[in-house]
Amino acid sequence: MEETSTSPLPAAFLDFLKENDLDPSIYAATDSTPRYVRLKPGYEADVEEIEAEIKCKLEKVSWLPGFYSLPPDVQIAGSQAYKTGKIYGIDAASGAAVTALDVSPGNHVLDLCAAPGAKLCMIVDLLDGLGSVTGVDVSQHRLAACRTMLQKYALGDICRLFVANGATFSLIPVNVTSESRSEDSVDRLKEWTSRKSWKERKKAAIAKQNAAAELVQRCQEPELIFYGLKSGVVGFTKSEIYRSPSESELLSYGYDRVLVDAECTHDGSIKHIQKFESWGWTSLQRRVLDAERTDNLTVLQLRLLTNGFRLLKSGGILVYSTCSLTVAQNEDVVEQFLKDNASAELQEIEAARNWPCKSGRIPKTLRFDPWASQTSGLFVAKFLKLAE
């Protein structure tokens, strides 16, 4: 029997749901939505051992390869399977967004809002050691968590991470043409990043006085906080790594795939909304319902989507997603983006034919509903960049 929330949803939030044509019942059940894990490729034979350790059967997610569901109250953080990187937690809807990218080994992929890193890890797995992944996030401490995940799951070899504003990030992948890199190159890069870290620490001491200037500097020069040996960093000079491409260069040498899982109000996540019962519903007004914050978010979302598409090469694929269920943060953003970008074409997501999701208000877009899909809420749109 499902447990239901003991605290009624506030009238303001019910009005918010009505305005967005959302059913309040999706927030009623606290324990009906399962949690999901992804099994690291190569550990399929260990499923029974993992089940014995966590004392729970891993149920295969029939529509998403490599994913398993388990009851939401099962804890995996203390298990050896989790500690040694055989499994990691990622919602099935998030896995679907990555699947929609159609990542192939050899692709250069940009994850423009990468933290905390579960989707990034899945992308690296799909590349199977070929190509590269560039992860970007404006939050240094959140991106540090992403770095920890890459190290824990031994997935960092082809990955580089930049603290940067995703709406202004402008670095393209640096092709790795040789597997042999000199120790001198590694040492030079370590010396450079160490020097940069020292400068950043010095700046932090006077951050309150020059926060605006520091933000401008960060937009101009992203901070590299992690790089793998085959990520397109080792053996290249700083000027090569930080070279700003021309618009024409981007069409040929941009990223093959771009994921923009944009910052949003998170209203599609049941677990997130339920936290306000303990945080206090007044904070919900400020974080989710405040019109000014929502307006600012939609502007940011459009900027992230536009810049991600700019960094995409001709013929490349971009996936835009949010864990909001509101029209303003999803269909409205997509509609405006399509008006502004003649070379963008919405694509059918072929893999979605068996997914438990609904069509969005714009054809070819998708919505995962926490109630019907048994996942976190998610909106997904897929774009192709046409040749200009």
- Encode pLDDT of 105-136 as tens digits: 999 999 999 999 999 999 999 999 999 999 99
In terms of residue numbers, what domain contains 300? 11-30+92-170+244-385
Q: Does the structure show a pLDDT above 90 at 186?
A: no
Query: Which segments of 237-355 does DSSP mark as H helices, in order?
Result: 238-241, 247-253, 270-274, 276-279, 281-284, 291-310, 331-340
- Confirm whether 233 is domain-assigned: no
- Confirm whether 188 is domain-assigned: no
**Neighbour tally for 345: CB within 10 Å:** 13
Cβ-contact 313, 385 below 8 angstroms: yes
User: Is 46 assigned a ligand-binding role in the annotation?
Assistant: no
Q: Does the structure show a pLDDT above 50 at 79?
A: yes
- Kindly report, residue by residue over 239-269, the tens digit of the pLDDT: 899 988 999 999 999 999 999 999 988 776 6
- Confirm whether 39 is domain-assigned: no
Mean pLDDT confidence for 14-27: 78
**Measured between alpha carbons, how far is 81 from 87 in angstroms, rounded to an integer?**
6
- Confirm whether 301 is domain-assigned: yes
pLDDT for the residue 28: 67
pLDDT for the residue 49: 95
The number of domains in the chain is 1
Higher-pLDDT residue of 386 and 377 is 386
Higher-pLDDT residue of 286 and 253 is 253
Cβ-contact 337, 355 below 8 angstroms: no
Cβ-contact 18, 10 below 8 angstroms: no
Q: Give the percent of the chain with pLDDT over 90.
A: 60
**Neighbour tally for 246: CB within 10 Å:** 8
Q: Which residues are catalytic?
A: 323
Q: Does the structure show a pLDDT above 80 at 88?
A: yes
pTM attached to this predicted model = 0.84
Confidence of residue 209 (pLDDT cuts 50, 70, 90): very low
Cβ-contact 221, 162 below 8 angstroms: no
Q: Any idea which of 41-45, 219-223, 332-336 has the lowest mean pLDDT?
A: 219-223
pLDDT for the residue 157: 96
Confidence of residue 222 (pLDDT cuts 50, 70, 90): very high
- Confirm whether 315 is domain-assigned: yes
- Kindly report, residue by residue over 46-78, the tens digit of the pLDDT: 999 999 999 999 999 999 999 999 998 898 988
Higher-pLDDT residue of 270 and 160 is 160
- Confirm whether 42 is domain-assigned: no
Collapsed DSSP state (helix, strand, coil) of residue 331: helix
Confidence of residue 183 (pLDDT cuts 50, 70, 90): very low
- Confirm whether 184 is domain-assigned: no
User: Is 137 assigned a ligand-binding role in the annotation?
Assistant: yes
Q: Does the structure show a pLDDT above 80 at 333?
A: yes
Task: Identify the top-confidence range among 85-89, 132-136, 270-274.
Answer: 132-136
| Token pair of 228 as six digits | 């793998």
| CATH number of residue 344's parent domain | 3.40.50.150
Confidence of residue 313 (pLDDT cuts 50, 70, 90): very high
- Confirm whether 339 is domain-assigned: yes
Confidence of residue 200 (pLDDT cuts 50, 70, 90): low
Mean pLDDT confidence for 275-284: 68
